[in-house]
Each structure stands twice: as C-alpha cells, then as structure tokens.
Amino acid sequence: MPGQFSNSMVDSGSNPVLVEDGRIINVDMRHWTIDVKTMHSQRQLLDMQMLAPYLHFAGGEGIYAMPEVGAKVKCCMPSDGAPFIMGFCTTFEREGQPPEDEGATTTQPSVETSSDAESEEGPPVEVTYRSGRPYLQQGDIMLRCRDGNQIWLHRGGVVEIGSTWLSKRFYIPVANTIRDVAENWEALTLAGDMMWSVERSDRSPNADADAQFTLLAKNYAQDEFYTVEVRAGHVGDDKRFQMTVAPNVIKSDGTFDGGGSPVYTFWIDQEGNIDLFVKRDANILVEGELTEQVNGSAEYTYGSGRTTNVTGDDETTVSGQLKMGAANAEMRMNGSFKVISPTVQLGSASAGTPVVLATPQVIAFFLSHTHTVVGSSTLGPTPPVTSPGARKVFGE
C-alpha cells in the first residue's frame, strides 16, 4: 500500500506487501469485481479483481471462474496498487479415513491425527483440507462445480466429462475409444436426429421403463420435417422395430404433417412377425441362388396380371391337391406336353367324364374291331391307324 505519510514532506515511501485471509461477501457478476472482508483486521476490501491462470483484455480469452459468496480467499495488498485476490483456499475439517478402493494409491501428504477423536468403533478421524474434492492421483487436473458436473483430466490420457454419475463421456486412448454413459442420449444435427431414450413411468407394476432408439433423417438440410424414420426397442405394445419412409412429412414424435402418409413401412413385432407395406413398385435382384422355405401355409394375391419367366427348368412338387382355376382358361405349349396320371377327367362342372388314353391296348382294339351290320361287315379305318399321322392322333 502507499506510505502512511505520503503527504508529508519529511517521510514518504511504501509499506511492505501484506497478504491476509478473507471471505467473499459480495460478487458483482456484471463488472467482475469482488467484495471481501478480511479475517483478522476485519477490513472490507471493495471492488477487487481476481487473478486468473491466464487472461487477456482484448477478447476475454483465458481460464477463469465466477466465485461464490462465502469462499475463502487470499487477499494481497501490494505496496504500489489496489488490493486484489491472489487465489482461493479452504478450511480444515475432520473426516474418517477413506475406503481402500477410493483412496489414492500413491503417497499422500502427511496430516496430523487427532488422538482424542479416535474411536474403537470406527476408523480414526483425520484433519483434512479435501473439502469434498474427489481423491485424485498425482498429475490429475479437474474442473468441478458444486453440482457435481466436472471435467477430469486423468493422468495417463483418459478424459472424463460428466454432469452426473449416469451422464458422462470418456475419451480413452486405448484403441482411440469414446465411451458414453447416459440414461438418455441425443444427437441433433441439420441432417437429422439420433436418440436413445428411456421413458420413466410409474404405471407399470414391475417399474418397467420403456427404452427406444430413434433415427430421423432428412432429405435436404432445409427441409422442415424428416423423410426417413427408424425406431427400435419398445416401439409399441408389441412392435420392436419400425422403418418408415415418408418424404418431408415425418415429425419428431412419429406423426405425419398435413395428413401425409408413408410410401414404405416395415414392422417386426416381438414374436418375429413381419409386416411390409410398399406403395409403389418393388424390384428384387438375386445374382446367386434364392431358396424360399415356408413351413406353414402361403397365400399370394395379385391385383393385376402375373408373368413368370424361367430360362431353365421349372419344377413344382405338390404333396397334396393341386387346383388351378381361371375365368378364361387358355394353355399353350410350344414343345411337348406330358400328363403323368392314372386317370384324367374332363368336364365343365364336375369334371366327371374320363379321358381315354391312347394305350397300346386301346389302339389294338380299334385296329381289330369289327361288328355285324346290315349289308356288309366293317373293315379297318382308312388310312390305317398304323400310319405316322394316325399315331399322332392317338398320342404316340
């Protein structure tokens, strides 16, 4: 501080620098000044600045914090300027020895043990200046608020950033890993959103909390709504997976804007059932082999025509009955057509008329058949059945 007799013509000069403990009694957050009352001299030092590890006046860049009322400080009263706050300190307190799994494994500074505070029922009580700070390792650096949110630079390269014990992110140098721990997790971007959410509910007798993963994607960044929606987990009472495509009409809650409707939807329920909706065309290309096996029944319904092109062989095996019906039936075969069956019946309604097969016995019967008529006896057909043209008629 300036000399006590600075206005004297005889004696002038500077006093020595003084450092005194104090407590903050007021914080001016707008002007970044602090009022302190000293512990011993009971002086009130007003509108003081606080030193920072680094601070530049040009743009406010640096490392600094806004202190709270009640914090214990070290006040410096220099010989040639206004008082300022050098730093912060804490008061001592008494606490039991930390558990083995929570204490630091390296050598700790020695502390004085209060012999009269030891108890036969518990661990000895120590005098400490920890003030609620976690047990750090040598070389650790931490930024921490009273509410528990913190940035912890662990010695060894691990970075821990968290708000609570269940809301943290770890940067781990082993395999360059980033690990998140959270109850709800969201990533919001101009291109879309991705969320892991847990819905707390007291309506479930088992205290079940519905969990769901949601992915929302836009077609263009300037779109108001989403185009693609993927939900997995507890999508509904029985649905566990859902994929929906609805161009620029999907809202964040899964509803559609302006009465829009999806053009594609795919569902899977908890039993493994699949529902698929496609509003327009669907094309499937398989370069290799395709095997389709249905252990139950299968039903195919076509609203229009169906065309099947097979470049190789086509084989259909039916263990039960084979029924085919058509309003306007027409069958064409460019090659030979064989029906392997013991009996063939034709008819418009009940199909009760049997078809005569041109077996060798039937051909021999027609070639040798004669019967008596008035006038003369019948002869064989002309031309003979044994000719090449006649054999085609009987199916040979």
Same domain, yes or no: 84 and 154:
no
pLDDT tens string 32-66: 999 999 999 999 999 999 999 999 999 999 999 99
Same domain, yes or no: 34 and 84:
yes
Residue 216 covered by a domain: yes
Q: How far apart are CA 366 and CA 208, in angstroms?
A: 85
Q: What range defines the domain where residue 267 resides?
A: 187-278
pLDDT tens string 145-173: 989 899 999 999 999 999 999 999 999 99
Q: How far apart are CA 317 and CA 49, in angstroms?
A: 93
Same domain, yes or no: 205 and 274:
yes
DSSP state letters, 316-358:
---SS------SS-----SS------S--EE-SSS--EEPPP-
Q: How far apart are CA 287 and CA 28, in angstroms?
A: 74
Domain finish residue from 182, 208, 242: 182
Same domain, yes or no: 365 and 392:
yes
Query: What would the two tokens of residue 275 be?
Result: 């529902």
Residue type, 131: S
Same domain, yes or no: 274 and 194:
yes
Other CB atoms within a 10 A radius of the CB of residue 249 amount to 19
Q: How many helices (H) and strands (E) does the chain have?
A: 2, 23
Between CA 259 and CA 261, with CA 260 as vertex, the angle to 5 degrees is 120
Long-range CB contacts (within 8 A, 24+) of 94-102: 94/125, 94/126, 94/127, 94/128, 95/125, 95/126, 95/128, 95/130, 96/122, 96/123, 96/124, 96/125, 96/126, 97/123, 97/124, 97/126, 98/135, 102/135
Same domain, yes or no: 85 and 154:
no
**Total structural domains within the chain:** 4
Residue 307 covered by a domain: no
Q: How far apart are CA 226 and CA 186, in angstroms?
A: 16
Same domain, yes or no: 160 and 197:
no
Domain finish residue from 151, 182, 213: 182
Q: How far apart are CA 349 and CA 164, in angstroms?
A: 80
Same domain, yes or no: 162 and 205:
no
Residue 285 covered by a domain: no
Residue 250 covered by a domain: yes
Q: How far apart are CA 383 and CA 13, in angstroms?
A: 152
pLDDT per residue, tens digit, the chain (396 aa), is 444 545 555 555 677 899 999 999 999 999 999 999 999 999 999 999 999 999 999 999 999 999 999 999 999 999 888 999 999 999 888 876 665 554 444 444 444 444 444 445 666 778 889 888 999 999 999 999 989 899 999 999 999 999 999 999 999 999 999 999 999 999 999 999 999 999 887 766 777 889 999 999 999 999 999 999 999 999 988 999 999 999 999 999 999 998 789 999 999 999 999 999 999 999 999 999 999 999 999 998 888 888 888 888 888 888 888 888 777 777 787 777 777 777 777 776 667 677 777 778 888 888 887 776 666 555 655 555 554 444 444 444
Q: How far apart are CA 396 and CA 385, in angstroms?
A: 11
Residue 303 covered by a domain: no
Q: How far apart are CA 256 and CA 248, in angstroms?
A: 9
Residue 246's alpha-carbon distances to 76, 222, 254, 278, 380, in angstroms, are: 67, 16, 11, 11, 77
Residue 28 covered by a domain: yes
Residue 5 covered by a domain: no
Same domain, yes or no: 191 and 149:
no
Domain finish residue from 150, 182, 214: 182
Residue 53's alpha-carbon distances to 141, 235, 317, in angstroms, are: 14, 51, 85
SS3 assignment, position 249: strand
The answer to whether the beta carbons of residues 77 and 85 sit under 8 Å apart is no
Residue 23 covered by a domain: yes
Residue 254's alpha-carbon distances to 211, 227, 235, 261, 265, in angstroms, are: 16, 11, 10, 11, 12
Residue type, 263: V
List the CATH number of the domain containing 46: 2.40.50.230
Residue with tokens 């920890």: 130
Same domain, yes or no: 237 and 268:
yes
Same domain, yes or no: 170 and 228:
no
Same domain, yes or no: 164 and 192:
no
